[in-house]
């Protein structure tokens, strides 16, 4: 999945597949995770957020099924 680099101290890049509703997040710590059944509106909210780390923690982390892919 293609990811876009983002300005964040915790998140390196973010990608989204609207066909499968999969959000992919690469963290500055090195881990890459995919989150499943994430509505596109959540992805848009994350990309528009001033603090992507806070937005991720508040709206995605512990709310969607995920797996580590890298």
Report the C-alpha dihedral over residues 46, 47, 48, 53, rounded to 10 degrees. 50
Q: Is residue 29 within 8 Å of 62, Cβ to Cβ?
A: no
Residue ranges making up the domain that contains 10: 4-68
Number of independent structural domains in the chain = 1
Q: What is the DSSP string of the chain?
A: ---EE---SSEEEEEEETTTTEEEEEETTS-EEEE-S--HHHHHHHHH-S-HHHHHHHHTTTTS-EEE--
Residue 70: band (very low, low, confident or very high) from pLDDT cuts 50, 70, 90: confident
pLDDT in tens, 18-53: 999 999 999 999 999 999 999 999 999 999 999 999
């Amino acid at each position: 999945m293609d990811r876009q680099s983002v300005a964040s101290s915790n998140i390196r890049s973010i990608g989204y597949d609207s066909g499968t509703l999969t959000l992919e997040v690469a963290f500055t710590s090195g881990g890459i995770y995919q989150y499943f059944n994430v509505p596109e509106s959540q992805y848009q909210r994350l990309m528009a957020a001033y603090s992507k780390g806070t937005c991720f923690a508040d709206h995605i982390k512990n709310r969607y099924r995920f797996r580590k892919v890298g």
